[in-house]
């Protein structure tokens, strides 16, 4: 299991649904790569200079919209994850 | 539904009115692309280092003027939205 | 009406007086473009990290001298305005 | 013995397992160089401006996932170590 | 009258004395352009994040030595002024 | 005697042991230049914004491991020293 | 007299002693230009955001070792001075 540190969240990026026309798989436009993901683990939050722990606004299981140029991809036990800082999560999808 | 995080607001950018001359659609000057939008969702505000939540000055339904080089465009359920940080909203249009 | 956010002010830039010699309009030197403007609207001021609202030193009606490379030009209801951060206002003209 | 200062941790990077096909060692893809390591020493934590010592979230013996472009490699008594700042440790592997 | 904002000071730069040899005006070395000026107006000082107004160390009438690459030149009522931030004033000349 | 200011330490860098093969001195690989040094003088520590003096974690006589691209070399009374900020000292060698 | 502002110090840089061989003046290596100076005037210290004045660790008459790429050279009443920020003074020479 991976436990993110600080204000990091670990997510699994949603797979693009293949668009098919009469059974033919169509390549997607690179500009429309998915930006939604599911949160699988959440850090404890940043510790501010005065020792206050700043709480996270995201929890495990949340579906999120993230900034597509953010995060680091890691491979762990054959799964691919994206590790993001909370500030790069733009919105929660309800 | 999209719930923005931190000091973000989600807006729908106002459409340019087409200028027509005798029914002919005229291309607009790129420099005059619309900079007004309507706010559809507002984050809870940034949390300062001492734990204070800084309130937002913008609310759902506000019409805003935004910095034209700011924000990220996202597509969600076939609608296009712009996600901005509050600091990139220049003014509220009353 | 435009209501600026944070420490922004909205101003109308003073027009250059045309210099004429015997009725001929003379082009001005680009280096001397006007740097004075009249304030038409003022934001509520920045909110500091501890929640304190920092008051503005500029008020509606002030004539100001501004940094000529600062600000964003916006068009609203056929008027052109410049939106500046207070830190880019160098002096008040009494 | 090496005692890291501030928020640094000293780790030994996990060796890549060689992939062999019928006994032939295969070169790994540079993009998949190992990003896991074992923590051999931990600093006392940063001291904040108000004199508060910020505690470390990592302890000796932890297995960690680190940002692959971070850290300084040092050689000490014929062993190779990587010295990282805590902020470059992305997650603890349980 | 110009009233500088924040930690700004408005100064009039000292004129270079022309060096003459037998009545011939000699061009000065660009590297030796004057760096002294007289303060004609002083701002109220910066307001710190906690609302404290930081007092200015410079007052009207002071003769100052300034960093030669700092400041903005402005023209106002046919006089030329230099507007500097207090941090760009290196010393007071007694 | 040199007394470092702030969070600086003055060190003497350990000499590389020459590697010889049958009496021939071998040039070392530039990448392996020594990164250990002995501390000969220590500053009083930085003064934080609230006036707190932040204590140093390094003392005279410590053997340290330092970041090889950090510091300024100075010559004083025919000895060569390296002056480092404490943040560029990575570890103490026990 | 020059009175430095903030955390500045005004120094006179030590002259390089000319090296002569049999009366011939030898050019010094540019890399070894002197880095020691004598302090002739000291500012009152920086004022922190909370209004605290941070005291200076350097006093008039101190001999200092300074960072050779720091400071501004000024000419005043035919003498040449170097004006440095305290942070660019590396050590006091006792």
pLDDT tens-digit map of B11-63: 999 886 655 666 665 554 444 556 899 999 999 998 877 777 888 999 999 99
Q: Please give the span between the terminal C-alpha atoms of chain A, in angstroms, as a whole number.
A: 26
Q: Which chains reach chain D with 3 or more Cβ–Cβ distances below 8 angstroms? A: A, F
Q: What is the ipTM of this complex?
A: 0.79
Round the average pLDDT of chain E to a whole number and report it: 85
Q: How far is D20 from chain F (nearest CA, A)?
A: 32
Q: Rounded CA gap, F60 and D67, in Å?
A: 34
**CATH fold of F8-15+25-93:** 10 Kd Chaperonin, Protein Cpn10; Chain O (2.30.33)
- pLDDT at position G13 is 94
Please name every residue paired with E66 in a beta bridge, in sequence order, or none if there are none: E89
Q: Give the one of D48, D55, D65 whose C-beta lies nearest to A74's C-beta.
A: D65
Q: E65 to each of A43, E26, G46, how far by Cα in Å?
A: 52, 24, 18
Q: C21 to each of A55, B42, E77, how far by Cα in Å?
A: 69, 57, 21
Pull the structure tokens for residue E21.
Answer: 């040899």
- List CB contacts of E47: < 8 A, sequence separation 6 or more: C54, C55, E6, E53, E54
C89 pLDDT more than 50: yes
Q: D90 to each of A42, D38, D64, E22, G43, how far by Cα in Å?
A: 11, 13, 8, 75, 45
What band does F48 get if pLDDT is binned at 50, 70 and 90? confident
Chains F and D touch each other (3 or more Cβ pairs < 8 A): yes
Closest CA to B14 of B42, B41, B33: B33
- pLDDT at position B20 is 62
Q: Domain coordinates of chain B in residue numbers?
A: 8-15+32-93
D51 pLDDT more than 80: no
Q: Which of A66-70, F33-37, F87-91 has the lowest mean pLDDT?
A: F33-37
The CATH label, of 2.30.33.40, 3.20.20.70, 3.40.50.1820, 2.60.40.1120, for the domain at B8-15+32-93 is: 2.30.33.40
Q: What is the mean pLDDT of residues F48-54?
A: 79
Going across the sheet that includes G72-76, the strands are F2-4, G89-93, G63-66, G36-42, G8-13, G79-85, G72-76
Contact C51 B49 (CB under 8 A): no
Contact A2 D57 (CB under 8 A): no
From chain E, pick out residues whose CB is under 8 angstroms from the CB of G1: 93-94
**CATH fold of D8-16+24-89:** 10 Kd Chaperonin, Protein Cpn10; Chain O (2.30.33)
Q: Rounded CA gap, G33 and G16, in Å?
A: 7
Asked if residue E47 lies in contact with residue C56, where contact means CB atoms within 8 angstroms, the answer is: no
Strands F72-76 and F79-85: antiparallel
Asked if residue A72 lies in contact with residue A23, where contact means CB atoms within 8 angstroms, the answer is: no
Asked if residue C41 lies in contact with residue C58, where contact means CB atoms within 8 angstroms, the answer is: no
- Sign of dihedral through CA atoms A88, A93, B1, B7? negative
What band does E59 get if pLDDT is binned at 50, 70 and 90? very high
F38 pLDDT more than 70: yes
Q: What is the mean pLDDT of residues E19-24?
A: 62
Pull the structure tokens for residue F74.
Answer: 């100075």
From chain D, pick out residues whose CB is under 8 angstroms from the CB of A88: none
- pLDDT at position G30 is 43
What band does C21 get if pLDDT is binned at 50, 70 and 90? low
Q: Which chains reach chain B with 3 or more Cβ–Cβ distances below 8 angstroms? A: A, C
Q: What is the mean pLDDT of residues A62-73?
A: 91
Please report the residues numbered 3 through 22 in chain B whose beta carbons come closer than 8 angstroms to any beta carbon of chain C: none
Pull the structure tokens for residue A53.
Answer: 């722990």
Helix (H, G, I), strand (E, B) or coil at B72: strand
- pLDDT at position G31 is 46
- pLDDT at position G18 is 56
Residues of chain G predicted below pLDDT 70: 16-34
Q: What is the mean pLDDT of residues A70-91?
A: 92
Contact D32 A8 (CB under 8 A): no
Tell me the count of F-G CB pairs closer than 8 A: 53
Q: Is C32 on the interface with E (CB under 8 A)?
A: yes
- pLDDT at position G52 is 79
- Sign of dihedral through CA atoms F81, F84, F86, F91? negative
Asked if residue E31 lies in contact with residue E1, where contact means CB atoms within 8 angstroms, the answer is: no
Q: Rounded CA gap, C68 and C89, in Å?
A: 10
Please name every residue paired with B41 in a beta bridge, in sequence order, or none if there are none: B10
Q: Which chains reach chain A with 3 or more Cβ–Cβ distances below 8 angstroms? A: B, D
D30 pLDDT more than 80: no
Please name every residue paired with E82 in a beta bridge, in sequence order, or none if there are none: E11, E73
E1 pLDDT more than 80: yes
Q: Give the one of C6, C44, C49 whose C-beta lies nearest to B49's C-beta.
A: C49
Q: How far is G49 from chain E (nearest CA, A)?
A: 5
Q: Which of B8-22, C37-51, F1-15 has the lowest mean pLDDT?
A: B8-22
From chain A, pick out residues whose CB is under 8 angstroms from the CB of B44: 57
What band does F93 get if pLDDT is binned at 50, 70 and 90? very high
- pLDDT at position A54 is 86
Contact C5 B57 (CB under 8 A): yes
Domain E8-15+34-93 belongs in CATH node 2.30.33.40: yes
F31 pLDDT more than 50: no
What band does C51 get if pLDDT is binned at 50, 70 and 90? confident
Cα angle B77-B80-B81, degrees, rounded to a multiple of 5: 110
DSSP string, A20-87: EETTEEEPPPGGG---EEEEEEE---PBPTTSPBPPPS--TT-EEEE-TT--EEEEETTEEEEEEEGG
Return the CA Rg of chain A: 16
Chains A and D touch each other (3 or more Cβ pairs < 8 A): yes
Q: Rounded CA gap, G89 and G36, in Å?
A: 10
Q: Rounded CA gap, B45 and B53, in Å?
A: 6
What band does C42 get if pLDDT is binned at 50, 70 and 90? very high
Q: Which chains reach chain G with 3 or more Cβ–Cβ distances below 8 angstroms? A: E, F
From chain F, pick out residues whose CB is under 8 angstroms from the CB of D41: 91
What band does A25 get if pLDDT is binned at 50, 70 and 90? low
- pLDDT at position A78 is 85
C31 pLDDT more than 50: no
What band does D47 get if pLDDT is binned at 50, 70 and 90? confident
Q: What is the DSSP letter of D46?
A: P
- pLDDT at position G17 is 61
Which of G31, G90, G92, G93 would best serve as a mutation to test chain F binding (most F beta carbons within 10 A)?
A: G90
**CATH fold of C8-13+36-93:** 10 Kd Chaperonin, Protein Cpn10; Chain O (2.30.33)
Return the CA Rg of chain D: 16
Which of F50, F52, F65, F70 would best serve as a mutation to test chain D binding (most D beta carbons within 10 A)?
A: F65
Residue with tokens 């971070």: D70
Instruction: Please give the biggest Cα pair distance in chain E.
Output: 61
Contact A90 B76 (CB under 8 A): no
The CATH number assigned to the domain with range A8-16+24-88 reads: 2.30.33.40
- pLDDT at position C20 is 62
Contact E74 C93 (CB under 8 A): no
Q: What is the mean pLDDT of residues E60-86?
A: 91
Q: What is the DSSP letter of F87?
A: G
Polymer length of chain D:
94
From chain E, pick out residues whose CB is under 8 angstroms from the CB of G51: 48, 52, 54
Q: Give the one of D3, D49, D75 whose C-beta lies nearest to F50's C-beta.
A: D49
Cβ burial, residue F80 (10 Å; 0-12/13-18/19+): exposed
What band does B94 get if pLDDT is binned at 50, 70 and 90? confident
Q: Is B42 on the interface with A (CB under 8 A)?
A: no
The CATH number assigned to the domain with range G8-17+24-93 reads: 2.30.33.40
Q: Rounded CA gap, B6 and A81, in Å?
A: 24
Q: Is G57 on the interface with F (CB under 8 A)?
A: yes
Asked if residue F81 lies in contact with residue F2, where contact means CB atoms within 8 angstroms, the answer is: yes
Chains F and E touch each other (3 or more Cβ pairs < 8 A): no
- pLDDT at position B31 is 46
Asked if residue B55 lies in contact with residue B26, where contact means CB atoms within 8 angstroms, the answer is: no
E20 pLDDT more than 70: no
Q: Give the one of C49, C50, C90 whose C-beta lies nearest to E72's C-beta.
A: C90
């Amino acid at each position: 299991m991976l436990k993110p540190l600080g204000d990091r969240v670990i997510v699994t990026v949603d797979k693009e649904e293949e668009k098919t026309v009469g059974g033919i798989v169509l390549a997607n436009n690179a500009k429309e790569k998915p930006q939604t993901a599911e949160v699988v683990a959440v850090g404890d939050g940043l510790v501010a200079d005065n020792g206050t722990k700043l709480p996270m606004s995201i929890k495990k299981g949340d579906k999120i919209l993230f900034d597509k140029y953010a995060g680091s991809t890691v491979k762990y036990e054959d799964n691919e994850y994206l590790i993001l800082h909370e500030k790069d999560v733009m919105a929660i999808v309800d």
